[in-house]
Structure 1
Amino acid sequence: MITCCFMFSMVTDGQIVTIQFIGRIAEGPHEGEVFDTTDAKIAKEEGVYDERYSYEPISFRVGDGEVLPGIEDAVREMGIQDQQTITLTPDAAFGERQSEKVYEVPKTEFEAEPEPDALVNSESGEIGWITEVEDDTVAVDFNHELAGTTIEVELWVVNTIEPDTT
């Protein structure tokens, strides 16, 4: 008689988990578009490849808030080699758009001629992008570019490491 086999264990807080993922926009005119992935081949196929990015699985300590809240919640219900596709509303992903994060800045504040879609840094280190250029003012949006967007994330748990309790 054969007894045994595999002991399935769920991911728990404190563990270091390694995942791979593909993030897509879940609704609207850009539905299905990939916005981020750990897979270089998919990034190239989808036109989002950035040679500065390391396309490798990512690791994080569960419970430390290092990743989107919805991803952290999902991995708590998974084990090694599990795959799951989750849909995250803005509150579990990049947050809702906040009008108070869009500023009208005098054009004279810019060293170079401002152009729509250009990235800018605030004095406090926040990154925003120029959404509109008028004669005397420039609209700068400091919301995350996916704020207010429902996303879909296909993720795989590659590995887990127990926390060091010594």
Structure 2
Amino acid sequence: MSIKDGDTIKIDYKGTLDDGTVFDSSENHEEPLEFTVGAGQVIQGFDDAVRDMKEGEEKEFRLEPSEAYGEYNEGLSQPVPKDNIQSDIDVEVGMMLLVKTPDGQELPAKIVEVGDEEVILDMNHPLAGKALNFNIQVKEISS
């Protein structure tokens, strides 16, 4: 049985950057990744790569930024007054915060610079602008 849209599958995977750094792996989660193909639960390029695979099959593939988390967008880095950040937090470069948009949605943001009056927040996905390499094995397919 080949994987098609609507199938729920379980896969073991390892994701690496071009320099060999592992950014995620099913080993880290102690169980295979489970998702419904074509339901938008994973990045589009990953969804596309698993279609037509069979149970037990292994595959290596590379996703360009456009197929994964998109290109890095300089416009998603912006200054925010320090007063707007919870007063009980010691802000540091590299720290991740949840930022509320005007419509109430919460987005992760990374502090990339700390000044006396403001901090620069980067709201790009941490993997934006990076090509992603995957090694996967299909463990289970259910319709």
Structure 2 length as normaliser, TM-score? 0.90
1:22 and 1:155 in contact (8 A); partners too: yes
Structure 1 unaligned spans of 5+: 1-8, 41-53
Please give the residue correspondences for 1:21-60 in structure 2 after superposition, counting only pairs within 5 Å: 21-26=13-18, 31-40=19-28, 54-60=29-35
Identify which of 96, 106, 119 aligns with 1:138. 119
Quote the residue 2:96 is aligned against: 119
How large is the RMSD of aligned CA atoms in angstroms? 1.2
- Corresponding position: 1:82 with 2:57: yes
Give the SS at the match of 1:126: strand
Distance 1:56 1:103 in 2: 38
1:80 and 1:160 in contact (8 A); partners too: yes
Task: Give the C-alpha shift of residue 39 in structure 1.
Answer: 1.2
Give 1 or 2: higher strand fraction: 2
Distance 2:90 2:80 in 1: 13
Distance 1:55 1:125 in 2: 28
Task: Give the C-alpha shift of residue 137 in structure 1.
Answer: 1.6
Quote the residue 1:20 is aligned against: 12
Counterpart AA for 1:17:
I
In our comparison, the structure showing a higher alpha carbon Rg is 1
1:109-136 residue CA offsets vs partner (Å, 9 max, x unmatched): 2223321011111123111110001122
Distance 2:77 2:52 in 1: 37
Counterpart AA for 1:127:
P
Structure 2 unaligned spans of 5+: none
Quote the residue 2:2 is aligned against: 10
Give the SS at the match of 1:121: strand
Task: Give the C-alpha shift of residue 77 in structure 1.
Answer: 2.9
Quote the residue 1:102 is aligned against: 77
Identity of aligned residues (%): 31
Quote the residue 1:43 is aligned against: none
Distance 2:90 2:56 in 1: 50
Task: Give the C-alpha shift of residue 55 in structure 1.
Answer: 2.0
Counterpart AA for 1:98:
N
